[in-house]
Structure 1
Amino acid sequence: MISRLRRSRRPYLLAPAVALAAVAATVAPADAVPAARTDVALEWYDVTAETIGAAGAPSQITNSRTWAIGWVAAARALRDGGRSPDYQDAALAGAVHHTLSALVPARATELNAALETTLDRIPDGRAEDTGLAAGRAEAAALLADREGDGLDPVSVNSPFPTPDPAPGVWQPTPPAYGPGLQSGNRFARPFLLASADQYRLEPPPAPGSPRYEADLAEVRDYGAADSTVRTARQTETAAFWYGSSQVLYTEPLRVALARSGAATADRAALVALFHVALVDTQIATSDSKYAYLSWRPVTALRAGGVTDWTPLHVTPSHPDYPSGHSTYAGAAEAVLTALTGARTAPFELTSPTAPGVTRTYTAWRQLTLENIDARVWSGIHTRTADVAGARLGREVAAHTLRNAERLLG
């Protein structure tokens, strides 16, 4: 499956429906052009995004799990590539609808309407019936298999006792001084990792070491709320990437899906493997964070005598090393690069934490590099935590891709 997707890779790809319409227009009169087939993968991608955006879980990894279950089920239902387009459309819609209905029941009315819209376009008959049944069956089986996997919001944020104060050791950060969050991720069951610590990072630089001192000096100068060296563009970058990684990467993944000319099964696999990699990456991130309990820059700087130092953005309530935003970016980059190529036609991206700002990208790596810089310029991570995070994300994503057939069949 994955090899087929790689072979279909091209630098500029129109969505299949658009390409078919363009060809038809060159060989037939306008009144004879058949209607382009609706891209059901893109349709249900949007339904998934809207459903989670409107009524998803409060924890990011739980929402990544929802994406992963729905789209792995769809990819499994579509693994027989010889099936008709009607079967494929019904199977994909059935798998994602069943998953979302089970995990986001508050959106039942909207989900049922979306399914009806898809099925109304498919002729009644065996292809529709068997496709829908196959999608639902795969979703039901995977939901049952993932029951109790520890990725529910309560388990993700299980209580974490604050460690005793010591140089280099994480302590609650201002202004809320809240307890450590997402510590439960490291106890959850991954999709493909053998264990949460399979790719545990090496220890962070020791307090007082040259690397540690250089990291801290950079955050002190460039990440302060009142920094006099951070440029306007750097401040904008920090704000742009401050929000949820899952929200910020929804559009880049959609761009990749819309531009892919691969078979429907492989396009479903793209979405599935992206989110499987991100679930496992977030589990691995939590493992390294809570194994090393590295304190945040604000704690280190104030303990070192800069008692009034304040970061540009509020520091999240968990340890510094590694940066979760960077692990997410690294994993996303690795999956998108492997399955769609390193570069794409220009696409625009906006951010809910930088209203009015639009940025244009042509390569997935650009997003990772901006994430690494942004967390330093926000004053909430050291550069070492960011760079190591991106590497961890890439390693987990590579593991996901190597073991994709074990997951998808």
Structure 2
Amino acid sequence: MTPPLSRPSRRTFVALGAAALLPASVAAPRAVAADRRSAVLTWYDTTAETIAAAGAATQVTNSRTWAIAWLAAARAVRSVPGGVDRAAYQEAALVSAVHQALVDLVPGRAEQLDATYRQSLDRVPGGEARSLGVAAGRREAAVVLGSRRDDGLDPASVNAPYPVPAPGPGVWQPTPPSYAPATQYGNRLAVPFLLRTPDQFRPGPPPALDSDRYAADLAEVRAYGSVDSPVRSPHQTETATFWLGSSLTLYTEPLRVALSRTPRGIAEQARLVALFHVALVDTQIATSDGKYAYERWRPVTAIRTGAVDPDPGWTPLHTTPAHPDHPSGHNTYSGAAEAVLTAFSGARTAPFALTSPTAPGVTRTYTTWRQLTDENVEARVLSGIHTRSADEAGVVLGRRVARFALEHAGELFGSA
């Protein structure tokens, strides 16, 4: 096993978080914090439920839905007109913005969204503050939706056709058992929220096929990632299975934990959710750029057909996704999520429990955001679907994209 990656200090992340997540104005009074958290969490859960019930088939499209809805909310609550009740205005603005965006992006859930919207507004005192807040939410939702039309993140564009390259050493080929066409190629052609170009932080190339690092990567995944591995422990198998599912789904609860535990007001909470998902959309765009720039073959192809002790019958623990190896998408997601959560709430948090839809009955407990990243790095090797080099490159890429998002958050929210 290679030593853990070096990482920026907590001081660096806290400095970034202060610049990106805190508005210039003072925080909302603590006396209304509990009520504001209730409104934010209601619509956080509503967003998650909406996407789970009727979201898109592609993860990045669903990340885009989160980003648009909560960016509209964060903009709507950032400034309050003089002479009106701040709490009522901000709650109405957030509710209206998220509702309007979700109805537009997930119209099949309009009935359920409308019912939750009515219930939420019934809890806001009537009057000018509520009316102005509703109007602000609708206005910001329309602006953000309009700015993201035709951004290339709809499912058809995400999975744009990709011609299979000619076979060769190290070159990606469709993988067993289905040998499906490549997916997510179109991500690298999409319009980011903040990145200047999809290749802005492109990682370096994967290890050369004749390098010691490549040999070590291949030996590790061959031994620990095979379906019938005699050296992988039951706990390691559980780790691989636990982190097999959608990163968007698996990180919904950690983000909610950070949101529910903060004493910050509604404006900062909305900014956290928006910035988290903006960073993750851009991370997924950057990930696909790297994958299709390098076209590195997956471990199953390397082990079955490569020059290093080929084994035509080798099979990974889990089915290999239909896109190239380098960098690992799960780990770019983890690196970016860790960076944003750390900026918002510090590296450590009180213990929280996490479950996974791909590991029914298993509950794991965490006290740092870094633990999630570390397990993702191990999980993709133990699943037999990524090399450690691809995993570690993914973590670095995700952190770099997230840092950039934190540093340039003013472009999303303005200075108000």
Considering the TM-score relative to the shorter chain, is it more than 0.5? yes
Which secondary structure does the structure 1 equivalent of 2:353 belong to?
Answer: strand
Match of 1:259 in 2: 261
Deviation per residue, 1:339-368 (Å, 9 max, x gap):
111111100000000010000001000000
Q: Per-residue deviation at 1:38? A: 6.5
- 2:205 matched to 1:203? yes
Q: In structure 2, which of residues 299, 320, 328 is the aligned counterpart of residue 323 of structure 1?
A: 328
Q: In structure 2, which of residues 174, 177, 196 is the aligned counterpart of residue 175 of structure 1?
A: 177
Match of 1:140 in 2: 142
The within-5 A match list for 1:30-49 is 39-49=38-48
Q: In structure 1, which of residues 344, 364, 388 is the aligned counterpart of residue 393 of structure 2?
A: 388
Q: Per-residue deviation at 1:39? A: 1.3
Match of 2:79 in 1: 80
The within-5 A match list for 1:288-303 is 288-303=290-305
Q: Per-residue deviation at 1:3? A: 3.0
Q: Per-residue deviation at 1:378? A: 0.1
Match of 1:11 in 2: none
Q: Is the contact between residue 296 and residue 319 of structure 1 (CA under 8 Å) also seen in structure 2?
A: yes
Q: Is the contact between residue 313 and residue 380 of structure 1 (CA under 8 Å) also seen in structure 2?
A: yes
Q: Per-residue deviation at 1:122? A: 1.2
Which secondary structure does the structure 1 equivalent of 2:354 belong to?
Answer: strand
Which secondary structure does the structure 2 equivalent of 1:360 belong to?
Answer: strand
Q: Per-residue deviation at 1:280? A: 0.1
AA aligned to 1:191 is F
Q: Percent identity among equivalent residues?
A: 64
Q: Per-residue deviation at 1:19? A: 7.9
- 2:371 matched to 1:369? no
Which secondary structure does the structure 2 equivalent of 1:236 belong to?
Answer: helix
Match of 2:195 in 1: 193
Match of 1:240 in 2: 242
AA aligned to 2:387 is T
AA aligned to 1:55 is A
Which secondary structure does the structure 1 equivalent of 2:321 belong to?
Answer: coil
| Structure 1 portions without partners, runs of 5+ | 9-15, 21-35
The within-5 A match list for 1:2-401 is 3=18, 39-80=38-79, 84-304=86-306, 305-401=310-406
Q: Per-residue deviation at 1:81? A: 5.8
Q: Is the contact between residue 20 and residue 410 of structure 2 (CA under 8 Å) also seen in structure 1?
A: no
Distance 1:17 1:112 in 2: 29
Aligned pair count reads: 387
Q: Per-residue deviation at 1:244? A: 0.3
Q: Is the contact between residue 17 and residue 38 of structure 1 (CA under 8 Å) also seen in structure 2?
A: no
Deviation per residue, 1:71-101 (Å, 9 max, x gap):
0111111111676100010000000000000
Distance 1:124 1:297 in 2: 60
AA aligned to 2:329 is G
Match of 2:27 in 1: none
Report the RMSD for the aligned CA atoms in angstroms. 1.7
Q: Is the contact between residue 17 and residue 37 of structure 1 (CA under 8 Å) also seen in structure 2?
A: no
Q: Is the contact between residue 2 and residue 266 of structure 1 (CA under 8 Å) also seen in structure 2?
A: no
Distance 1:337 1:302 in 2: 40
Distance 1:110 1:58 in 2: 20
Q: Per-residue deviation at 1:17? A: 8.2
Distance 1:157 1:6 in 2: 33
Deviation per residue, 1:100-151 (Å, 9 max, x gap):
0000000011000000001111121100000011011000011011000000
TM-score by length of 2: 0.90
Q: Is the contact between residue 185 and residue 283 of structure 1 (CA under 8 Å) also seen in structure 2?
A: yes
AA aligned to 1:360 is T
Match of 2:5 in 1: none
Instruction: Provide closer, same or farther for how the CA distance between residues 122 and 280 of structure 1 changes in structure 2, counting only shifts above 3 A.
Output: same
Which secondary structure does the structure 2 equivalent of 1:189 belong to?
Answer: coil
Distance 1:195 1:280 in 2: 10
AA aligned to 1:62 is T
Instruction: Provide closer, same or farther for how the CA distance between residues 18 and 365 of structure 1 changes in structure 2, counting only shifts above 3 A.
Output: farther
Q: Is the contact between residue 223 and residue 378 of structure 1 (CA under 8 Å) also seen in structure 2?
A: yes
